[in-house]
Structure 1
Amino acid sequence: MTMEYTLVPLCEYAVTIRFADRIDERVNDVVHEVAARLEGARKEGIIEMVPAFSSLTVYYDPFVVGSAADVCAWLREHLKSSEPVVRPPARTVVIPVCYGGELGPDLAEVARFHGMTEDEVVALHAGGRYRVYMIGFSPGFAYLGGLSPRLATPRRRVPRTMVPAGSVGIAGAQTGVYPLATPGGWQLIGRTPVKLFDPHGEKPSLLSAGDIVQFRPIGREEFARWERER
């Protein structure tokens, strides 16, 4: 690893490794490289490693591992290693989206904001390749990087009190999918019939940090068929 870092005790059972304070693919690559390195050296008492935009938080059992100082010493030992790390290839997840209409009520406004047609917005959005930088905000909510600068759109001035699950939105330079019905202020341009979070599933969240997401436009009939089959 060639990037500088800071170790920050988060609480009595977690330490955060902070590499930078910006959203950047190279920084995120380092986060996942370090996660893979530590996973390969995992010892008893290390519970979970949670990657974010530019940091990695390591959760541990203090009754097994010891104090934060002990964990930090273990982290420094492995962070200074120069041995190459083999990361598994990124998984690509294709998500069908029905754009516009009642399922994407802000599509027309996004198109007007950018001086485009609705079809141009859909083509540009669906033509992107998006990296899952982190999961947060609500269970299964993936923050996606890779949105075309031509689609960057401010959030709504007045957030909605309830956004339907599956809604695909834009906020600033990011896009994302609401896995659950929650309040939100993102510009809604479509909706997916795919369930992104199932608390009863073996893997509750469809998406994980490091995945690649591609959106596939579908019509209203196909959307309804997906919902019936689900």
Structure 2
Amino acid sequence: MDEFTFFPQGDRAVTIKMGKEINITTHKKVKLLCEHLKSNPFTGMIEVTPSYTTVTVFYEPKDLVLNSINESPYSEVVRILSTIISSINITENTDQTKTILIPVCYGGKYGPDLAEVAKIHQLTEQQVINIHSNQDYLVYMIGFAPGFPYLGGMSEKIATPRKSTPRNMIPIGSVGIGGEQTGIYPIESPGGWQLIGRTPIKLFDVEREQPSLLKAGDVVKFTPITQEQYENWEVS
């Protein structure tokens, strides 16, 4: 890995910047480092958290073995991480992806902003649906809310600004557009994204062994379904 920079985050965490731009190459570096650290945690490591271009590593200072009384926990963690990063081959295991199909009922009461998105771009509602559902979306990271996927790959043809006045509550499963991003609300929460549809699939369930359906590195494909299919799916 040729480009990385370390930044302290208080006295118990360090952030490693893995690249300057949000792209698939940087994402692969982030994913590979996170997977390596989770499988091979160093002494004192607590947790690792990915983002678009960075990895943040949390650690317990008192558990670290320092080489001298003058060495700080931060410098020891940077040394450990530098060694790990330099040993990782970025070409290893970076093309193993899982594709997950997400059924979506577009428009109507489940996608109240679809007509507005179509109007802004001088498209028909069906054209917006076609564009949105014909893309492959990479899950860059999970954040904001439990199970919320940050997806990359939406067409600029339907990029739409967030609403000027956010909704107080957005239903679970709502699929929205916010600027150049699209995403799925896994829990009820306030939000300002343009809602174009809704999925009956649970993205987050504390009863599952893996509560979040999606994880960084997965590929999402949206599949249009009818309102009848949605409602039958919902009660099944």
- Mark yes or no: TM-score above 0.5: yes
Deviation >4 Å, runs of 4+: none
For the residues of structure 2 that align with 1:126 and 1:172, how far apart are their CA atoms? Answer: 17
For the residues of structure 2 that align with 1:144 and 1:119, how far apart are their CA atoms? Answer: 22
Q: In structure 1, which of residues 199, 220, 224 is the aligned counterpart of residue 231 of structure 2?
A: 224
| Cross-structure match for 1:31 | 30
State the Cα distance separating 1:166 from its structure 2 match: 0.4
| Cross-structure match for 1:134 | 141
Matched, 1:72 2:71: no
Question: Number of residue pairs matched?
Answer: 228
State the Cα distance separating 1:37 from its structure 2 match: 3.8
Secondary structure at 2:9 match in 1: strand
State the Cα distance separating 1:205 from its structure 2 match: 1.0
For the residues of structure 2 that align with 1:9 and 1:219, how far apart are their CA atoms? Answer: 50
Matched, 1:184 2:191: yes
Are the aligned partners of 2:22 and 2:52 in contact in 1 as well (CA < 8 Å)?
yes
State the Cα distance separating 1:50 from its structure 2 match: 1.7
Indicate the larger mover: 141-150 or 29-38. 29-38
Residues 1-230 of structure 1 aligned to structure 2 (within 5 Å):
1-2=1-2, 4-65=3-64, 67-81=73-87, 83=89, 85-87=92-94, 89-229=96-236
For the residues of structure 1 that align with 2:216 and 2:222, how far apart are their CA atoms? Answer: 17
1:141-172 per-residue CA deviation (whole Å, 9 max, x = no partner) reads 11100001101111111111111110000011
For the residues of structure 1 that align with 2:104 and 2:196, how far apart are their CA atoms? Answer: 9
TM normalised by structure 1 equals 0.92
For the residues of structure 2 that align with 1:41 and 1:54, how far apart are their CA atoms? Answer: 21
State the Cα distance separating 1:39 from its structure 2 match: 4.0
Task: Assess, with a 3 A threshold, how the Cα gap between structure 1 residues 80 and 216 changes in structure 2: closer, same or farther.
Answer: same
1:88-110 per-residue CA deviation (whole Å, 9 max, x = no partner) reads 71111111100000100000000
Secondary structure at 1:89 match in 2: coil
Q: Please tell me the root mean square deviation across aligned C-alpha atoms, in Å.
A: 1.7
1:55-105 per-residue CA deviation (whole Å, 9 max, x = no partner) reads 011122333235222211100111122645334711111111000001000
Indicate the larger mover: 132-141 or 11-20. 11-20
Task: Assess, with a 3 A threshold, how the Cα gap between structure 1 residues 16 and 127 changes in structure 2: closer, same or farther.
Answer: same
Indicate the larger mover: 42-51 or 22-31. 42-51
Unpaired segments of 5 or more residues in structure 1? Answer: none
Larger Rg: 2
